[in-house]
């Protein structure tokens, strides 16, 4: 349908320009400039109408992978040892991971 309408519109424009040929002269009061400006404006309007709407697909959404599960670790009291600096038995905290 769109190519048919475009063809008919182009034929009408071409036919109207050939139907009434006139000679251009410099002293016609700006008719040539008005014709050029009208042609440019009409071509811009016609071109934008025939170009059709532009549909853009939405941007892709990147989802971060889920974080890895935390390791099975816990803190507990280690084996006691004698600390000469303190002069006492010390039970350090030890991290245990399964």
Specify the pLDDT at position 41.
92
Instruction: Return the exposure string of 17-31: e unless at least 16 CB atoms fall within 10 Å of the residue's CB, then b.
Output: eeeeeeeeeeeeeee
Q: What is the pLDDT of residues 7-23, one digit of tens each?
A: 787 777 766 666 656 66
> To 5 degrees, how large is the angle CA 4–CA 17–CA 53?
40
Whole-prediction pTM: 0.30
Task: With a cut of 80, say whether residue 30 has pLDDT above it.
Answer: no
Q: What is the pLDDT of residues 66-79, one digit of tens each?
A: 998 888 889 999 99
Residue 78's closest CA among 89, 91, 90? 91
- Beta strand pairing call for 81-83 and 93-97: unpaired
Structure confidence at residue 25 as a pLDDT band (50, 70, 90): low
């Amino acid at each position: 349908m769109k190519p048919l309408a475009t063809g008919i519109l182009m034929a009408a424009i071409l036919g109207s320009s050939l139907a009434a040929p006139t000679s251009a002269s410099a002293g016609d009061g700006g008719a040539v400039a008005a014709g050029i400006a009208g042609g440019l404006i009409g071509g811009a309007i016609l071109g934008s109408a025939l170009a059709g709407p532009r549909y853009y697909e939405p941007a892709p959404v990147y989802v971060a992978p889920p974080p890895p599960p935390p390791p099975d670790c816990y803190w507990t009291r280690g084996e006691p040892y004698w600390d000469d600096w303190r002069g006492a038995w010390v039970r350090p905290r030890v991290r245990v991971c399964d």
